[in-house]
Amino acid sequence: MNVGELAAGVLAGDRRALARAITRVESARADHRREAQALLAEVARAGRQALRIGLSGTPGVGKSTFIEAFGMMLIAAGLRVAVLAVDPSSARTGGSILGDKTRMEFLSREPMAFIRPSPSQTHLGGVARRTREAVALCEGAGFDIVLIETVGVGQSETVVAEMADLFVLLLAPAGGDELQGVKRGIMEMADLILVNKADGDLKRAAMRTMADYAGALRLLRKRPQDPPGFPKALCVSAVTQDGLAGAWAEMQALVTWRRETGHFAGRRAEQARHWFGEEVRQGLLARLDTPDARAQMADLGRAVAEGRIDPGVAAARILDGLPG
Ligand code: GDP
């Protein structure tokens, strides 16, 4: 299938074409890269937009159970749902952990859904670009909601928050009074904290955890992109589905407010600017990743270590010699 046919398939909402298109943007081959860029340009012309929801949580909090239940609820409301995964850790395990179809049994059989497991990965910079481009392709394919799932480890949350319109943090009920070691930076990114497993014996602990986080959120610096009451902490149960409709209502309320106040478009504009800068930085780094440049780096590194040349002068020598 050539680029034109692939783009037409994506724009027609054909899931097989979409899967192939994503495989194309995931390829590191230079000719594929060029095709991917042409494909993205073609698809972008349709100007379609989905609501991009980032979802993060540590393994075991119930991400796949939540996405299955939440996704089915959205589909019942007539929305088309795509699920993408960002999982830099799968490079270590060699397999895909997130977005696995077997984890979302019902959703994966839905014609209104598209689930893309995370590819086994190299480095975060690559993951970010590939996921961003996959999001763009899903938007072109007419999905209303793109859920971007990530495990709550490392820097992947930041990457996801930087490409999502809404960032949702999923937590499990805590036993004690600790704030579960959730880093402040992650709390600051969250628009909604959902304490999952608020059912049965865990319900009381979930309520307590929710109250703790609601308190912690109130102490955070006020962000201009939030209406009163946000960011918010809520209890949900992915298993009983209690609270899911409420969580969706809160997300919609937040999005509506941000659209009306210009913050929605403003955030997207900021994100586009951020990714542009990242692409330039990644591109520059890639130019240093040639045998010649590596050898020169090693030589000059030694010279710097031995005090034969000043670090700044050595760096300038490398940078000035980079191919244009
Ligand atoms: P993930 O690793 O974050 O994707 O978590 P999973 O969705 O695989 O869930 C981990 C475990 O938590 C499974 O045994 C689920 O059945 C359980 N679980 C998920 N959601 C809920 C919930 O709402 N209530 C209860 N009680 N258990 C849940």
Q: Residues 131, 17: one domain?
A: no
Q: Residues 206, 167: one domain?
A: yes
Lookup: tokens for 253: 């309320």
> Residue 310: inside a domain, yes or no?
yes
The best mutation among 65, 104, 168 to test binding of ligand 1, ranked by most ligand atoms within 8 Å of the C-beta, falls on 65
Q: Residues 132, 242: one domain?
A: yes
Q: What is the pTM of this model?
A: 0.90
Q: Residues 84, 193: one domain?
A: yes
> Residue 282: inside a domain, yes or no?
no
Q: Residues 80, 108: one domain?
A: yes
Pocket of ligand 1 (CB under 6 A): 57, 59-65, 196-197, 199-200, 202, 237-239
Q: Could you tell me which of 116, 110, 132, 94 has the C-alpha nearest to residue 19? A: 116
Q: Residues 115, 201: one domain?
A: yes
Lookup: tokens for 254: 């937040």
DSSP-based three-state secondary structure for 154: coil
Q: Residues 166, 17: one domain?
A: no
Domain that includes residue 27, residue range: 1-46
Q: Look up the CATH number of the domain holding residue 31.
A: 1.20.5.170
Q: Look up the CATH number of the domain holding residue 113.
A: 3.40.50.300
Residue with token string 């709550």? 152
Q: Give the contacts of 125 (CB within 8 A, at least 6 positions apart).
A: 278, 282, 285
**Nearest-CA residue for atom 5 of ligand 1:** 62
Q: Residues 42, 142: one domain?
A: no
> Residue 63: inside a domain, yes or no?
yes
Report the atom number in ligand 1 closest to the C-alpha of 61. 3
Lookup: tokens for 196: 């999952």
> Residue 127: inside a domain, yes or no?
yes
Q: Residues 240, 305: one domain?
A: no
Q: Residues 94, 229: one domain?
A: yes
CA separation, residue 52 to residues 23, 138, 251, 252, 294 (Å):
20, 10, 11, 12, 39
Ligand 1 centroid to residue 197 C-alpha, Å: 7
> Residue 274: inside a domain, yes or no?
no
How many domains is the chain built from? Answer: 3
Ligand 1 centroid to residue 264 C-alpha, Å: 31
Q: pLDDT tens digits, the chain, 324 residues: what are they?
A: 789 999 999 999 999 999 999 999 888 788 888 999 999 999 999 999 999 999 998 888 999 999 999 999 999 999 999 999 887 555 444 444 555 656 788 898 999 999 987 765 555 567 788 889 999 999 999 999 999 998 866 678 888 999 999 999 999 998 655 555 677 788 889 999 999 999 999 999 999 999 999 998 988 888 888 999 999 999 999 999 999 999 999 999 999 999 999 999 999 999 999 999 988 988 888 888 888 889 999 999 999 999 999 999 999 998 888 766
Q: Residues 212, 308: one domain?
A: no
> Residue 80: inside a domain, yes or no?
yes
Ligand 1 centroid to residue 183 C-alpha, Å: 22
